[in-house]
């Protein structure tokens, strides 16, 4: 395509398990030209795309010839099983990498200290992952654990895609063991103790998702579906968050409240003043994602309510058991009355504050043989300058919902944002920013500014 024929606009599509959302973006100005959504049919997901494109074209005819970029979480998204050597080191490192790669971690299996007879086959059969992330050992260290795990995978009958991200010295032998299994080797996620290197594995997971998982889910019979999908939705959104942090020059957190889960994406630069008193077996990286499977607005409504503090005055006033049960049993239900909306806002506030607490953890100073050490259980969010809320409850909520829902207490040592700017991704821009970030970085950066410029 020549420069004169290059499209002026792009249609950015997110195929979700329930809804498909599309945004029409001007590639020069980053302006949002239109948005559309349609129910996703898991028999043929492109039907929802066709409906969105028709609606966008009615608003602006250029949508019909626009470049199309898409991400997908349809059909359950990307399900990853992590197989590592030690639970607190390589398996934990693999779990973090899998989450930052846009995956839903369905199993974490540590091979060290187990009986010779493996339960790997049963675990994989029960959790039904799309992909296995294989880790183990530091570079130059023991090769036996990751090689043995590769043999166990084959013996267990696993023939799905594998990303190998362990001791690099073991890769030639693992290539032979996995000769009949689709796999790719990449850099070690733990090249040495205290270092986490996720980027190579993230790229490899993305490659395997596009090559093997998208087609394997049988979401569409059309070749254009595979052509337009760039990655798993959470992976693409995290790229959008990285771009937003770059544009703003600020640490950024995004909390996405869904029907079943609440995701937290963060880009937090390390604090150099604290590094000399901090010890980590598995280092914290600037880009982090966590998924809370028991926090959500519908399928997880009952466990969301159960996670709330008993001293919450809103809970002391009434019994909401019947209300949350109704939401869990009717996930497509929409609030109609002001009381319905009040309860949904309460659930959203609980989900947001609890998910942020789990992501951020606490910090305390302890004494070790080497002196004072800051012991942290998560990502320190205290200096975060911007918090973005996403999800239907926020996008379709009442005016100034972020002031009522996006608030939390820092009491108890929680490393939560202290004085952030709060905003809502009401146009579902972050997925589009992530989709544009590689092929159209200038448009992505301009689009990202729309999230906060009106605040």
Beta bridge partners of 306: none
**What pLDDT, on a 0 to 100 scale, did the predictor assign at position 92?**
84
pLDDT exceeds cutoff 80 at 372:
no
From residue 224, alpha-carbon distances to 62, 68, 396 in Å are 19, 10, 31
- At CA 155, angle to CA 107 and CA 232, rounded to 5? 35
Backbone angles phi, psi at 14, to 5 degrees: -120, 110
Rounded to whole angstroms, the Cα distance separating 70 from 301 reads 29
Q: What is the pLDDT of residues 284-310, one digit of tens each?
A: 678 889 889 899 999 999 999 999 865
Tell me which of 411 and 369 has the higher pLDDT.
411
pLDDT at residue number 116:
44
Alpha carbon distance 42, 75 (integer Å): 7
As a whole number, mean pLDDT of residues 126-148 equals: 93
Give the model confidence (pLDDT) of 46-70 as tens digits. Answer: 999 999 999 999 999 999 999 999 9
Distance CA 203, CA 216 (A): 19
**pLDDT computed for residue 316 by the predictor:** 56
Instruction: List the chain domain ranges.
Output: 3-75+217-221, 78-212, 236-449
Structure confidence by residue, pLDDT tens digits, 245-295: 999 999 999 999 998 889 999 999 876 555 544 445 455 678 889 889 899
330 has a pLDDT exceeding 80: yes
Fold annotation for 78-212: Rossmann fold (3.40.50)
**Mean pLDDT value of segment 391-402:** 93
Do 28 and 84 contact (CB within 8 A), yes or no? no
| Mean pLDDT, residues 399-405 | 95
Lowest mean pLDDT segment, chosen from 37-41, 202-206, 275-279: 275-279
Q: Among 52, 94, 99, 110, which residue's Cα sits nearest to residue 77?
A: 99
pLDDT of residue 369 exceeding 70: no
User: CA nearest 296: which of 331, 340, 321?
Assistant: 331
Q: Within 10 Å of residue 128's Cβ, how many Cβ atoms?
A: 12
Q: What's the pLDDT at 276?
A: 47
CB-side neighbour CA atoms (13 Å) of 183:
25
Please report the pLDDT score of residue 184 as a whole number: 97
pLDDT higher for 405 or 85? 405
Residue 338 neighbours by CB under 8 Å, 6+ apart: none
pLDDT at 216: 84
pLDDT number for residue 368: 56
The pTM of the full predicted model, rounded to 2 decimals, is 0.85
Confidence of residue 151 (pLDDT cuts 50, 70, 90): very high
**Helices 233-248 + 441-449 axis angle, to 10:** 70
What is the average per-residue pLDDT within 147-176? Answer: 95
CA–CA distance, 90 with 112 (Å, rounded to integer): 11
According to the model, what pLDDT value does residue 251 have?
Answer: 96
Give the mean model confidence (pLDDT) for residues 368-380. Answer: 64
3-class state of residue 71 by DSSP: strand
For residue 384, pLDDT beyond 50: yes
End-to-end alpha-carbon separation of the chain, Å?
39
Q: Which band of pLDDT confidence, cut at 50, 70 and 90, is reported for residue 96? A: confident
**Domain 3-75+217-221 indexed as CATH 1.10.10.1800:** no
Instruction: Label residue 204 by pLDDT band (50, 70, 90).
Output: very high
Position with higher pLDDT, 281 vs 43: 43
Instruction: Using pLDDT thresholds of 50, 70 and 90, give the confidence band for residue 118.
Output: low
Q: By percentage, how much of the chain surpasses pLDDT 90?
A: 66
The per-residue pLDDT for range 429-447, each reduced to its tens digit, is 999 999 999 999 999 999 9
Query: What is the pLDDT at residue 120?
Result: 86
- So what's the pLDDT on residue 160? 95
C-alpha torsion angle, residues 113, 120, 181, 193 (rounded to 10): -30
Report the SS3 class of residue 224: helix
Query: Helix or strand or coil: residue 159?
Result: coil
Q: What is the DSSP letter of 189?
A: S
Per-residue DSSP letter, 282? S
Element (H, E) at 373: strand 371-376
For residue 165, the model assigns a pLDDT of 96
């Amino acid at each position: 395509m020549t420069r004169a024929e290059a499209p002026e606009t792009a249609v950015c599509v997110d195929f979700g398990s329930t809804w498909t959302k599309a945004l029409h973006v001007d590639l020069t100005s980053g302006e949002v030209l239109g948005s559309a959504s349609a129910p996703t049919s898991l028999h043929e997901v492109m039907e929802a795309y066709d409906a969105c494109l028709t609606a966008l074209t009615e608003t602006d005819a250029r949508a019909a010839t626009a470049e199309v970029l898409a991400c997908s979480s349809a059909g359950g998204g990307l399900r990853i099983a992590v197989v590592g050597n030690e639970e607190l080191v390589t398996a934990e490192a693999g779990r973090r990498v899998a989450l930052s790669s846009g995956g839903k971690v369905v199993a974490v299996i540590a091979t060290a200290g187990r009986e010779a007879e493996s339960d790997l086959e049963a675990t994989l059969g029960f959790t039904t992952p799309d992909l296995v992330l294989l880790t183990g050992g530091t570079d130059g260290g023991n090769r036996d654990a990751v090689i043995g795990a590769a043999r166990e995978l084959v013996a267990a009958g696993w023939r799905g895609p594998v990303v190998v991200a362990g001791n690099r010295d073991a890769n030639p032998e693992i290539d032979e063991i996995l000769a009949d299994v689709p796999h790719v080797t990449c850099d070690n996620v733990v090249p040495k103790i205290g270092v986490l290197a996720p980027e190579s594995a993230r790229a490899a997971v993305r490659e395997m998702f596009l090559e093997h998982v998208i087609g394997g889910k049988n979401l569409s019979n059309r070749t254009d579906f595979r052509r337009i999908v760039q990655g798993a939705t959470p992976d693409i959104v995290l790229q959008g968050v990285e771009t937003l942090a770059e544009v703003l020059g600020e640490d950024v957190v995004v909390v996405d409240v869904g029907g079943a889960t609440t995701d937290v994406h963060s880009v937090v630069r390390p604090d150099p003043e604290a590094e000399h008193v901090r010890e980590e077996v598995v280092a914290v990286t600037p880009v982090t994602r966590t998924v809370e499977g028991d926090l959500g607005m519908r399928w997880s409504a009952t466990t969301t309510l159960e996670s709330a503090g008993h001293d919450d005055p809103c809970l002391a006033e009434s019994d909401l058991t019947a209300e949350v049960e109704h939401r869990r049993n009717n996930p497509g239900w929409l609030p109609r009355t002001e009381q319905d909306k009040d309860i949904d806002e309460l659930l959203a506030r609980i989900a947001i504050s609890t998910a942020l607490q789990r992501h951020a953890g606490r910090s305390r100073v302890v004494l070790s043989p080497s002196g004072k050490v800051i012991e942290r259980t998560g990502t320190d969010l205290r200096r975060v300058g911007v918090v973005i809320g996403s999800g239907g409850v926020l996008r379709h909520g009442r005016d100034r919902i972020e002031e009522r829902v996006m608030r939390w207490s820092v009491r108890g040592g929680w490393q939560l944002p202290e004085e952030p700017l709060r905003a809502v991704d009401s146009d579902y821009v972050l997925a589009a920013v992530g989709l544009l970030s590689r092929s159209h970085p200038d448009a992505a950066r301009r689009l990202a500014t729309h999230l906060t410029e009106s605040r």
